[in-house]
Chain A
């Protein structure tokens, strides 16, 4: 529902309104040469005039004199670390003198977070993470606690990067669902729309102007341009059959020659969910902390069972990541695991491009 127009110089009102509801704001800021989502207090901290120039294996920021806060595509992370934490303590075991063991579950601190500047691809990825962590056999307690605390303020993407292909996956550049508020950024301010009851309530508390017809047509043109600008695409939204018919395609070995098996693609991927259980006993042995940490299908330990590493080489590991992302996700969660954010392309140190590999593997018979 369209609520009105928020002038750029009133953006701080939005942050204050969220804070008054008990939310800590998280928003995009320039840190170490990238757009990171960190604690946001003042609108001045937003990356005004900043653009991101992305290419395979490369990410650079550039400052312009432009007025916009959200004129960039994305950074290495957005929502994933906020809900699926890189390290999450699940429980703590304590052993008494008589050798009895007590298990004490741990949950993340009950922080209410409002995330400003979420993209359509981030929301699509969050929906996939929800399906994974909140589905049967039971909700994951830690994820559920973090997820329930989120207030999501989306900003429709107006400046996709060279790596982006959300139009091809059908996940962007406009956010259509999953947000509390969504903003369309124009030079003078933001068209505000709400996607939830609490979003509408919050919008109602802001001093908004009327949205004009000119604003609407500018917004529509901007969305269309953002779509048209994307050059990369996947051959199809469902590559499951194509990939599983080509498990012995020669391309897997070729990509393995270039791939570092460093796991960066899976770490920046907003839908990758693999994690490892790690145990950290205290030195005196009286207690031990059991946590889960982000893991990757590119590691040796990922497929290790009693003396055997199932996926011992990079060919098998890359194939696992790729066929899972674009293939088996359909079987597991009813759609592809790729939302077209392009992070795996930009943040791969050697610039391997998922769209290029998909085209090479999925076209032809698989025996060429």
Chain B
């Protein structure tokens, strides 16, 4: 029997610094046959084990077709993630996964796609953007919406500029607090929603970020005419096991690790407005 609780050894092949606190680890399993068997979909996550320290759930951000390596973009904020940030090429760690449900990428094919992210570097959504960019002909219009509190919080600004030059792609970035050189909107990101060039009734929306932000964004998207059943969001909770056993990730009756982390909006809309669930 495969024990889902026991990690497998992986190696850091490359470490990319994204910002002062955000970094990407590019990994491969040491066991070649395990690596060859490893399959994931964007939106799923792995449990990363830092030797002697502990485990932490991190979503996979690379493209499933790039099977030489798999990537994790991580913000160094807790004791494990700060420890992971010190890993260098050649260092070893443990991996369990992938766990959870990913984004509805097959359902989104042939439709317009609106991706809304908030806060600092929302890695789960970036995996979707990359996925759509690689298979551009399979999707309709692509609208990328990113909101940050402060202009200085935006990472990957160059990517947003690059994406905004692509055909059938619209990039809307907003900061609540701008700076002199901030090229995008200053104010709530939701003010931009009305400008989205989509056929709303034929749009699949995917959201990632703070729960309050996603709740407000969903209200605005509904106002645009996007149907609730076509809205998806990625939730975050504490996770120790990844397989629905440890109980930490519950929100209402859902285990975020196995019933999510990607949920249809209709599954969680009653829970989102309640603080402290």
Q: Which residues of A contact B (CB under 8 A)?
A: 90-91, 93, 95, 99-103, 105, 132-133, 137-141, 240, 244, 247-248, 273-279, 281, 285, 288, 290, 292, 295, 297, 301-307, 310-313, 315-316, 319-320, 323-324, 327-332
Contacting pair B5 A140 (CB below 8 A): yes
Q: A141-B1, A279-B54 are in contact. Are A316 and B246 (CB under 8 A)?
A: no
Contacts of B246 in A (CB 8 A): 274-277, 292, 295
B→A interface (CB under 8 Å): 1-9, 30, 49, 51-55, 75, 77-78, 81, 90-94, 236-238, 240-241, 243-248, 250, 252-255, 258, 270, 274-277
A312 close to B276 (CB less than 8 A): yes
Partner of A288, one of B5, B52, B247, B277: B52
Given contacts A93-B52, A313-B276, contact A304 B238 (CB under 8 A): yes
Docked-complex contact A306 and B52, CB < 8 angstroms: no
Return chain B residues, CB-CB under 8 Å to A331. Answer: 252-254
**A310–B276 contact, CB under 8 A?**
yes
Q: Is the CB of B5 within 8 A of A141?
A: yes
Name 23 A/B residue pairs within 8 A (Cβ), A-sorted: A91-B6, A91-B7, A93-B52, A99-B90, A99-B91, A103-B7, A103-B9, A105-B6, A137-B4, A137-B243, A240-B253, A244-B270, A273-B245, A275-B247, A276-B246, A281-B52, A288-B51, A290-B49, A292-B246, A303-B238, A307-B78, A331-B252, A332-B255
**Contact: B248 with A295, CB < 8 Å?**
yes
Q: Which of A132, A301, A316, A327 contacts B245 (CB under 8 A)?
A: A132
CA A139 – CA B4 in complex, angstroms? 9
Is the CB–CB distance between B276 and A315 below 8 Å?
yes
User: Is B92 within 8 A of A100, CB to CB?
Assistant: yes
B4: chain A residues within 8 A (beta carbon): 137-138
Q: Which residues of B contact A285 (CB under 8 A)?
A: 52
In the bound complex, residues from chain B placing their C-beta under 8 Å from that of A316 are 275-277
Give the chain B neighbours of A281 by CB distance below 8 A.
Answer: 52-53
CB-CB under 8 A from B30, the residues of chain A are 100
Do B5 and A328 have beta carbons less than 8 Å apart?
no
Given known contacts A101-B92, A101-B93, A306-B78, A138 and B1 CB-to-CB distance under 8 angstroms: yes
A244, B258: Cα distance in complex, Å:
22
Is A139 touching B1 in the complex (CB atoms < 8 A)?
Answer: yes
What separation, in Å, do the CA atoms of A200 and B227 have in the docked complex? 59
Residues of B within 8 A of A133 (CB): 245
Q: Establish whether residues A310 and B237, one from each chain, have CB atoms under 8 Å apart when the complex forms.
A: yes
* Chain B residue contacts of A139, Cβ below 8 A: 1
CB-nearest residue of chain B to A316: B276
Select from chain B the residue with minimum beta-carbon distance to A327. B253
Report if A276-B240 is in contact (Cβ < 8 Å); known contacts: A105-B3, A140-B5, A306-B75.
yes
Pair B53/A279 contact, Cβ less than 8 Å:
yes
The docked-state distance in angstroms from the alpha carbon of A74 to that of B1 is 36
Q: Is the CB of B253 within 8 A of A332?
A: yes
A136 nearest CB across to chain B (Å): 8
Please give me the residue from chain A that is nearest to B99 by CB atom: A137
List the A side residues contacting B92 at CB < 8 Å: 95, 99-101
Inter-chain CA distance A112–B250, complex, in Å, is: 34
Partner of A274, one of B236, B243, B248, B277: B248
Q: How far is the CB of B175 from chain A (nearest CB, A)?
A: 21
Of chain B, the residue at the smallest CB distance from A276 is B240
Beta-carbon nearest neighbor of A281 in chain B? B52
Q: Which residues of A contact B52 (CB under 8 A)?
A: 93, 95, 279, 281, 285, 288
